[in-house]
Structure 1
Amino acid sequence: MPRRTLTVVVLLGALALTGCTSTTPAVTSTTPAAVVTAAPSGDGTLSIGTLFPTTGDNAASGAAQVAGTELALRDILAEQATPTQPIQLVHRNSAGDLAAAYADLAARGVDLVLWDATTALPADAHSSVGSAALVSLGDFANGGTPLAADEAFTVRLKTADPGLNATSGSAEAYDGLITAALAAVITGDDGGASLDAGWPQVISGMAVCLSWGECVYALGQEQTIDYQGVTGRRS
């Protein structure tokens, strides 16, 4: 599947959010915690690789996960008035030649890799994707089983891929992409080490936010955030 590039504001650096029209988060914090950061290593483009099964027995779930990430990117675009910062999505098949997929993502210098929500993360995955952060979408699955999307989310998902015949893993993929982009905002950098450092801070703060727009608004108000997206609260 070819690389898809969309231009998106991810607000790396200063959070200039005055005038944002997103809903105010339900819970606020007036004493934000210090942000844990790593040495900046990004290049200004948030490049996210995906490893989802696009062939074989789990191909329907793979297609749903691809659609989930594409929908998340579209939602990020919809919240921003002046797109300036690129995000790249690079989809690769986890059910094919996995060694070749690893090598391709590493060669492209992706910053973070999202692994399939329906299968266990291979033991060699971390050492195979270069300097990229690596996240198993199974971490988003409540009880270890990917959610079946509800009716409202399924309708939205099919605007990204009208041919979908399954939704398993789509919610996890959606939340994974949003979390990665928020981690880049929090740390002000798109490098893999920064995304690793920022990831826990997306879900451990005081301001509960349910969408990209709500979370970015809260960050602009210097609040710490607790993103609870399509999959709900993560423990």
Structure 2
Amino acid sequence: MPRRPLIVAVLLGALTLTGCTSTPAAAPSPTPTTAPTVAHSGDGTMVIGTLFPMTGDNAGSGAAQVAGTELAVRDILAEQAIPTQPVQLIHRNSAGDLATAYADLVARGVDLVLWDATTVLPADAEGFVGSAAVVALGDFANGGSPLAADEAFTARLKTADPGLASTDGGAEAYDGVMTAALAAVITGDDGGASLEAGWPQVISGRAVCASWGECVFALSEKQIVDYQGITGARS
């Protein structure tokens, strides 16, 4: 059964932050991050739809990925200085009626769709999600296989869902949400086109950061970030 949407606040416009106490993990980059210019289409709420397996043989992974996304949002909320930008998570079943799931996400105005880390993104997916950006979480996986979560991250996932039987995909889902939120900060917009344009900029720089706080601080210092989260380096 679909879970109720989780709504929290995430910071946009973080480049004007003051009073942040986190520190970046690398030396400053020479120029500020600049994303390709696209027309802003966001409405002030970044709506992330997920398509994870909620039934069938991979349902355990689906639960882990739901937990990973919700943990990421919770971490963003815990570290931010000025909560101004709502984020909504809407979870749907990739192992069920996909046509219905796509239609429901479009009807709810999602800006981004995160696809299951354990299966290949359908070739026609982008044609069914309107103006939303689509990200295959398998792109975060090392060699195509979800990361084996260590004991510490497993414990953190279980704070979001104590009944987890698997952690497959949890790390990829966590990093997917973090990358999307940072893309929104870089572009100053939560629309699908802006998220797609900002996504590569999250991993394009020399200022390595491993958490929301570190990355936002680096951006506020006009550094070009390279987010290396739970799944490690991607650039």
Question: What TM-score do you get using the length of structure 2 for normalisation?
Answer: 0.96
Specify the alignment match of 2:101 in structure 1: 101
2:88 match: 88
Find the aligned partners of 1:201 and 1:117 in 2 and give their Cα distance: 22
Distance 1:14 1:80 in 2: 9
1:14 CA drift (Å): 5.7
Any stretches of 5+ residues in structure 1 without a counterpart? Answer: none
Match of 1:198 in 2: 198
CA distance in 2, matches of 1:172, 1:145: 10
| Counterpart residue number, 1:231 | 231
1:4 and 2:8 equivalent? no
Q: Which residue of 1 aligns with 2:20?
A: 20
Gaps of 5+ in 2: none
Contact 1:5–1:86 (CA under 8 A) maintained in structure 2:
no
Please say which of residues 15-24 and 156-165 is displaced more in the overlay: 15-24
Runs of 4+ in structure 1 deviating by more than 6 angstroms, as ranges, are none
Deviations 1:84-131 (A, max 9, x none): 221000000000111000000011110000000000001110000111
1:16: Cα distance to partner?
2.4
Residue in 2 aligned with 1:42?
Answer: 42
Deviation at 1:206, TM superposition (A): 1.6
Alpha-carbon distance in 2 for matches of 1:99, 1:156: 33
Counterpart of 1:50 in 2: which secondary structure?
strand
After the TM superposition, which of the residue ranges 119-128 and 20-29 deviates more from structure 2?
Answer: 20-29
Deviates more, 1:77-86 or 1:153-162: 77-86
Evaluate the alpha carbon distance shift between residue 115 and residue 229 of structure 1 in structure 2; reply closer, same or farther with a 3 A threshold.
same
Q: Does the CA contact (< 8 Å) of 2:6 and 2:70 recur in 1?
A: no
Distance 2:158 2:34 in 1: 40
Distance in 2 (CA, whole Å) between partners of 1:199 and 1:57 is 31
* TM-score, length of structure 1 as denominator length: 0.96
CA RMSD after TM alignment = 1.2
In 1, the alpha carbon distance for the partners of 2:160 and 2:14 equals 31
Equivalent residue, structure 2, for 1:159 = 159
- Offset at residue 33 of structure 1 (A): 4.8
- Give, in angstroms, the shift of residue 2 of structure 1: 3.3
User: What corresponds to 1:137 in structure 2?
Assistant: 137
Q: SS in structure 1 opposite 2:143?
A: helix
Classify the secondary structure of the residue corresponding to 1:89.
strand
Q: Distance in 1 between matches of 2:77 and 2:14?
A: 18
Q: Aligned to 1:144, what secondary structure does the other structure show?
A: coil
Identity %: 76
Cα displacement (A) at 1:10: 2.1
Q: Give the Å deviation of 1:170.
A: 0.4
The Cα shift of 1:186 comes to 0.3
- 2-11 vs 72-81, greater mean Cα deviation: 2-11
* Mapped contact 1:37–1:198 kept (Cα < 8 A): no
Q: Aligned partners of 1:204 and 1:40: how far apart in 2?
A: 22
One-letter identity of the residue aligned with 1:9: V
